[in-house]
């Protein structure tokens, strides 16, 4: 049922948010500014000054985290609804295609004010790594929560 897929999607989004947050913090640490990529997400609400916060600033960091989680929960629900019946290697292929779609929306369709912001603090290779982890986390999370969908 759709309700079960939405419930699974919430879980998928939370798992994807956890994985993505970890990658963003790790990449920030590699640059000596651990929280900068996560803080950058807060630019959606507080403007471009969020791009310059390198350290943990509770109000900015928690806002960035909340916005990232909210966005990935929405994407997770959409992914679970679209790919809920897909299995095996096809799930990884669909997750990769879906993540490419997410990237295209973020990079091209959204106005700059509503883009994630971390893309402004990372290199192209680092950005690719973030989206690679996102694709893997979508696929793994959906596979792990499959039993909820199957009971529907």
Q: What are the tens digits of pLDDT across the range 52-106?
A: 999 999 999 999 999 999 999 999 999 999 998 899 999 999 999 999 999 999 9
> Per residue, what are the HEC states of 53-115?
CCCCCHHHHHHHHHHHHHHHHHHHHHHHHHHCCCCHHHHHHHHHHHHHHHHHHHHHHCCHHHC
Model confidence at 148, in pLDDT bands (50, 70, 90)?
low
pTM: 0.93
Query: For residue 137, what pLDDT is reported?
Result: 98
The mean per-residue pLDDT over the stretch 3-24 comes to: 95
């Amino acid at each position: 049922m759709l309700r079960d897929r939405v419930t699974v999607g919430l879980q998928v989004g939370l798992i994807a948010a956890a994985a993505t947050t970890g990658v963003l913090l790790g990449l920030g640490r590699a640059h000596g500014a651990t929280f900068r990529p996560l803080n950058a997400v807060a630019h959606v609400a507080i403007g471009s000054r969020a791009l310059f916060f390198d350290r943990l600033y509770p109000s900015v960091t928690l806002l960035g985290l909340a916005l990232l989680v909210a966005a990935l929960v929405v994407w997770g629900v959409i992914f679970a609804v679209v790919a809920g019946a897909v299995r095996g290697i096809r799930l990884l292929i669909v997750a990769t295609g879906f993540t490419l779609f997410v990237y295209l929306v973020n990079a091209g369709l959204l106005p700059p004010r509503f883009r994630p912001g971390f893309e402004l603090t990372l290199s192209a290779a680092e950005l690719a790594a973030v989206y690679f982890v996102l694709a893997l986390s979508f696929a793994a999370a959906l596979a792990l929560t499959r039993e909820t969908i199957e009971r529907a």
